[in-house]
Amino acid sequence: MRASLQHTWLTVISFLQGFSLLC
């Protein structure tokens, strides 16, 4: 479960970074 949580955070961070670049 811990690994899944880390993967979720990595996905969220990557999404936020990409969104910031678009803006």
pTM of the entire predicted model: 0.53
CA atoms of 12 and 5, how far apart (whole Å): 11
pLDDT at 3: 85
Q: Structure tokens of 4?
A: 């899944």
Residue 21: CA count within 13 A, CB half-sphere: 5
Amino acid identity of 4? S
- The pLDDT tens digits of the residues spanning 1-23 come to 688 999 999 999 999 999 999 87
